[in-house]
Structure formats: structure tokens, C-alpha cells
Amino acid sequence: MKKMIGILLILCLLCGSLPMASAAGGIVIDGTWSVLLPEAPTAYEAYAAETLRRGLTEALGVEIPAVSAAENRYIAVGSASRADVSEVADNGYRITALDGNIHIAGTAQRGLQAGAYRFLEEYCNRKIYTQDIIVCPKNDRITVPADADVIYEPFFEYTDTDWNSPRDPAYSMANGLNGGQYRTLGPEMGDTVNYIGGFCHTMGWLCETWKYAETHPEYLALHDGVRTTDQPCLTNPEVLRICTENVLNLLAEKHDPSAPLQIVSVTQNDNYSCCECDACAAFEAQHGGKHSATVLNFVNQVADAVKAAGYDNVAIDTFAYTYSQAAPENIVPRDNVIVRLCSIFCCFSHPFDAKCNKEFMRDLADWSKICNRLYVWDYATNYSHTVAVFPNFNVIQKNMQILYEHNVRGVYVEGNYYVDKCDTEFSELRAYMISKCLQDPYCDLDKEVDGFLQAYYGPGGKLVGKILDIYCAHAGSFDGTLWIYYGSWACMRPMPAVTVKLVDSLWCLAKKDAEGKCLANLERSELSWRWWKASAAMGEFSYLSPCRGDEKEKLFEDLKNAGVTMLHEGRIEDYATFDRDLIRYAMPDEWSIDDRNADHVQKRIQIEKLIEKIPLFAPIGYIFNLIHS
């Protein structure tokens, strides 16, 4: 018996010096583990190790040390690890279990950071849902399968979106955002892919169009028979010389030879005034009659000059946007040219491969055949009425898969970049969905969304999920299409009163036991529903509702209290100019200074005043609304 106890003791002592293995054969990480760094770590390795160390400390509830030597029970990082990444693509990583320890290594300048975050997400369930909401379940043990071997390679070389949380470095690193437009990641964090000199619509200043109206009108676009500073003439050799000089000057000032990729945007201004002069028209006629031909020919020549000057890590970026969206014939982009195809005319209640988006799909397919560095500029907000519901949730993942499958290498999703002035909808949810799909278009998005809803809205989050399902089922106007410049009402088809009641009760239930930040998040997101109802004259805003005017005033006050200062893109509202009649009797979409003085709005205000005075007219208003909605 004593001998037995002695053997057991020896076994226990032996086990004490080796990593613990669970009955299922997994590696069990507990508070005795450490993060193993090389003896002289780079700042980048030290940052990844610290990310891991802090995350593990949070998950295990015990301070985990970082060490430069360990026999066992370690997670090795970077050059201290034995993970073989020789076959892993740039900015990818490998998390692998070897000899009962964990090894994490990455490639290029961002892989290791991403690997550290992935380990915490995969095995500690630590999720960065927003910049303030980091969920990390506490556990005294973390189990990693004994044969764990996770390899990740980025789906896109460039990923960016705006909103609030995506500006946060930790959020961006954990959720796969690497563009430099909306976040600053230092070299120790892996750096960003940077546009230098301007992100978009740069041709005006690169070609100095404003200078030449008097002296050289031939440098300017001839549009509708008039030379205009709106755009340059892209077949004029002097314009090419001016633009090339400015691009080279910009590079002389801002070029970073150590960056893997820097991008200079040479993109058309944001208007439709493309040049129609004889030379431009003749060139385009030889290339399928497409305006993109002159744009691409011009940008190709700038790119040649940049390459000849020795800037091998620089790409010149241009747009396939509005009049230049369709790909040209008989001309292809140079290797160092990025074409950013814009989905501005797309319907967002259906994926890109639906019938309503066939022109975009044609252009995507055409560009992907000729462009080896195709990027996409996508959209995810209603810019006309940003406060209202924009029910595009069902297409986010499918669209990202379609882009990936068409060899798109970079994606920027323009969302609500002014969200700090009108955060009333589902900004954080949408930002998270977009980020996760940029990181991996084939991720389990339903699971990600469920986790987000629970963390952001609390127990009521499940009901918010049901509300979103109803929104998406009704997404789009009469014909089912959803555009980024629709009126609020048109973003969700006519909804039967019974469905409106159901959504109302779901919001009510979701808020029932909510408190603190979760309640505030629910109330803020519900504002978009109230705005939609007010725009559609439904629910408490129906003509049959005696408190219709009061509810509109209440909505207005709640928007102000929520810090909303922008109702549309491009303009801060001056609430001092909102009079009571406007708020009470006009539709919310008509509150803005651009719309409120229109005849039909003034007429509406008069009619609604009359209805309020003589309630017998209310059913007429109700029927009128039914017919017109």
C-alpha cells in the first residue's frame, strides 16, 4: 500500500513538471504557464507577447509572466516559437501545439499580432465586440487540443471601414482591419496600409485644375460644351505632366521605403463632368466607348513614371466610379495600378449577384479579368437619412464572399463615418459584422452576431436579432430594392400594422429588464425604428393616433438628447431653426433645411394641422397614407 502511495506521489511530482493533459488529450493552460519571448525581442514581438500575456491574465484571473526561458508550460511567440510559417502567405499566422506547448508565429508585418488575438479569441473566447465591450469569460483552465494547428492567411491585403469602434487599434487588430484611413497602428502593432496624400477624389488638386481656367482652358474637361474645373482633360499631355510631377513630389516627401505597400490615390473628382473633347472621345471610342479608358490610360502613365523613379512598393490607385464604373476594352491596368470599383448604384437588400445588381456584377467580372489588384469601395449606410433603419444585414457576408471569389484584394466599406454625430441605428453591430467578414468572409457570422447582440444589448439582444430578421424580410421599397440614398420610408416596404405592433412589442420586451449601458444601447437603436414609423405614419405616428404630433416632438427631443446633430450626410443641423409646426406636422425626412420649404412640405404642414383640429379628417389622412405607401 505504501509502495502504491509512493508511486502515485512520484507520478504526481512528474506530472507537476510537465504540461497537464486533460482526459481528452488536450493541453490545459493554467496560471502556472508563461508567455515565452526571444531574449532580445523586437518591439513588434514584445507587443504581441504583451497582448497575449494580458489576455491570458484576464482569462485565467492570475498574473501570467512573460519570460525569455522556459522548459515547459509556455506559449512561445515570434522567433521564440517553432511554428513553421515558411509556407504561410504574408500577414498570416500559425498557432500550433508542439510537445505540449503552444507556438505562435506570423508572417510579414502583421501576422504575429493577428495570431496573438486569434489565440485569445479561439481558446479563451475573448471577443472585442466594440472598443468598450471586451468579453472574456473567466476560467482557471484553458484547454487547447493537443493537435491544434491553426493556419490563417488573409483573404484581402487591404481592409477598412469607418464607424466608431473600428478606429480603435485593439479592435482593429483583433477584427482584421488594416487600412490607415481610420486608425493608427504603430510599427510595433504591425502598421497600416496607407494612402498617402489623399484617400479619394484627388485629381482636382493633383492636376491643379483650379489654376488654368483662364490661361489653359484646354487642360480642363470639356463637358456639355463648356470647359470646367470639375475634372481635368485626361488626354492632354501637359495635364499628365503636372499630375505626375505632383505625385512624384508627394512621394519624395512621404515615401516610406520600408512599408510593404503605399498607395497614391489618383481618383476622379466627385461629379459627373468627364471630359468629352475630341481627343478623349476618340480614345474612348477605340476602347469600347468607355470613359474608364481615358482614366486608366492616364493613371497607367503616372504609374509608369512612379515605377521608373524606383518606387517599387508604391501602387497608384484609381476609381471605377459612376461614369468610369464599366471596364474599358483593349487596355489593362499596369501591375502597380489599383482599380477601386465602387458599388454606389447597388441595391443592398439583395446580394451583388442578384438580378437588380447585374450591372455591378458585369463590371466586377470585367475588371477582375484585367486587373490583378482590384479593390472595392462598398457602402453600408443610408446617406440621405442616416437616422433611419438601413436593413442591409442579410447581404454583408454574401457580398464579401462574392468580392473574394472575384479576386478582389482590398475592400473599404464606407459606413456612417459621421456616426459620432448621429449614432441612432445599429452602427456598432454593422461595424462588427463588416470587420469579421473582411477578416474571413466565410466566418460563422450568425454565431458572431448572436455573441455581439448578447454583449451589446444584454438578454434583450436575442429579441433585437428577431427584430433585425423582420427588418430584413421587409427590406427595400415597392420593388424590393434598397439604395443608399432612399427616403427613410422606402428602406422598408409597407409593413402591415400587425407587424409594426409585433416589432413594437419586441422592442418593449427587449428593454423590459434591461439597465445601464444595455438599456441605453437599446433605446438608441430603437430611435431608428421610431424614425421609420414616423416617416411611414405607422404605429403611434399613424393618422389614427391622437398623440401623433406629441410623439414626433418626443422623437425630436430624444434625438437631441442622444447627441444627434446630423440627420443626413454633409450637414450639421441647426436646431434653433426647427419650429414646432415643422416638427409636429412634417415628416422627419422633411425636417432638414433643404426640404422643409418645398411646396409639398408646406402643404403637408397645413393639411396635418387641419387634421389635428378636426379629428374627423383623420381617417381620410390614414387612407391617403395607405394609398401612397
Contact code string over 278-317 relative to Zn ion, x by CB under 5 A: --x-------------------------------------
CA 132 to CA 123: how far, in whole Å? 21
Q: Using CB atoms within 10 A of its CB, is residue 552 exposed (0-12), middle (13-18) or buried (19+)?
A: buried
Residue-wise burial string across 17-35, b where 16 or more C-beta atoms lie within 10 A, e elsewhere: eebbeeeeebbbbbeebbb
Q: For residues 472 and 519, which CB has a smaller minimum distance to Zn ion in the complex?
A: 472
Q: For residues 277 and 438, which CB has a smaller minimum distance to Zn ion in the complex?
A: 277
Instruction: Report the residue from 356, 395, 567, 587 that binds Zn ion according to the rule CB under 5 A.
Output: 356
**Smallest distance from the beta carbon of 406 to Zn ion, in angstroms?**
19
CA-based R_g, the chain, Å: 29
Total of residues contacting Zn ion (CB under 5 A) = 9
Contact code string over 395-434 relative to Zn ion, x by CB under 5 A: ----------------------------------------
CB-based contacts of 281, cutoff 8 Å, min separation 6: none
**Smallest distance from the beta carbon of 304 to Zn ion, in angstroms?**
20
Q: For residues 36 and 342, which CB has a smaller minimum distance to Zn ion in the complex?
A: 342
Q: For residues 350 and 436, which CB has a smaller minimum distance to Zn ion in the complex?
A: 350
Residue for grid cell 512621394: 251
**Smallest distance from the beta carbon of 160 to Zn ion, in angstroms?**
25
Q: For residues 227 and 548, which CB has a smaller minimum distance to Zn ion in the complex?
A: 227
Half-sphere exposure of 160 (CA within 13 A, CB side): 23
**Smallest distance from the beta carbon of 357 to Zn ion, in angstroms?**
6
**Smallest distance from the beta carbon of 392 to Zn ion, in angstroms?**
11
CA 562 to CA 579: how far, in whole Å? 19
Of 223-231, 272-280, 332-340, 495-503: span binding Zn ion (CB under 5 A): 272-280
Q: Which of residues 517-546 bind Zn ion (CB under 5 A)?
A: none
CB-based contacts of 119, cutoff 8 Å, min separation 6: 52, 55, 75, 95, 102, 104
Closest CA to 490 of 390, 393, 397: 390
In Å, what is the CA distance from 343 to each residue of 223, 325, 413, 476? Answer: 24, 9, 10, 17
List, in sequence order, the alpha helices (H) in 291-443: 292-308, 358-370, 396-405, 427-439
Contact code string over 459-498 relative to Zn ion, x by CB under 5 A: ----------------------x-----------------
Instruction: Report the residue from 277, 306, 320, 500 that binds Zn ion according to the rule CB under 5 A.
Output: 277
**Smallest distance from the beta carbon of 278 to Zn ion, in angstroms?**
8
C-beta of residue 463 within 8 angstroms of C-beta of residue 508 = no
C-beta of residue 75 within 8 angstroms of C-beta of residue 36 = yes
C-beta of residue 261 within 8 angstroms of C-beta of residue 157 = yes
**Smallest distance from the beta carbon of 356 to Zn ion, in angstroms?**
3
Contact code string over 217-256 relative to Zn ion, x by CB under 5 A: ----------------x-x---------------------
The one-letter amino acid code at 397 reads: Q
Q: For residues 266 and 564, which CB has a smaller minimum distance to Zn ion in the complex?
A: 266
Closest CA to 422 of 389, 392, 387: 387
Q: For residues 207 and 467, which CB has a smaller minimum distance to Zn ion in the complex?
A: 207
Q: For residues 350 and 511, which CB has a smaller minimum distance to Zn ion in the complex?
A: 350
CA 440 to CA 435: how far, in whole Å? 9
In the DSSP assignment, the letter for residue 327 is P
**Smallest distance from the beta carbon of 246 to Zn ion, in angstroms?**
19
453 binds Zn ion (CB under 5 A): no
Residue for grid cell 440614398: 485
CA 562 to CA 564: how far, in whole Å? 6
List, in sequence order, the alpha helices (H) in 218-291: 237-254, 278-285
Q: For residues 235 and 592, which CB has a smaller minimum distance to Zn ion in the complex?
A: 235
**Smallest distance from the beta carbon of 494 to Zn ion, in angstroms?**
17
Q: For residues 50 and 276, which CB has a smaller minimum distance to Zn ion in the complex?
A: 276
CA 542 to CA 464: how far, in whole Å? 23
Closest CA to 96 of 119, 72, 128: 119
347 binds Zn ion (CB under 5 A): yes
Of 39-47, 116-124, 353-361, 534-542: span binding Zn ion (CB under 5 A): 353-361
**Smallest distance from the beta carbon of 22 to Zn ion, in angstroms?**
50
Q: For residues 36 and 233, which CB has a smaller minimum distance to Zn ion in the complex?
A: 233
Q: For residues 483 and 507, which CB has a smaller minimum distance to Zn ion in the complex?
A: 483
Q: Using CB atoms within 10 A of its CB, is residue 580 exposed (0-12), middle (13-18) or buried (19+)?
A: exposed
Q: For residues 280 and 411, which CB has a smaller minimum distance to Zn ion in the complex?
A: 280
CA 543 to CA 23: how far, in whole Å? 67
**Smallest distance from the beta carbon of 220 to Zn ion, in angstroms?**
9
Element (H, E) at 497: helix 497-512
**Smallest distance from the beta carbon of 435 to Zn ion, in angstroms?**
24
275 binds Zn ion (CB under 5 A): yes
**Smallest distance from the beta carbon of 244 to Zn ion, in angstroms?**
17
Interface residues toward Zn ion, by CB under 5 A = 233, 235, 275, 277, 280, 347, 350, 356, 481
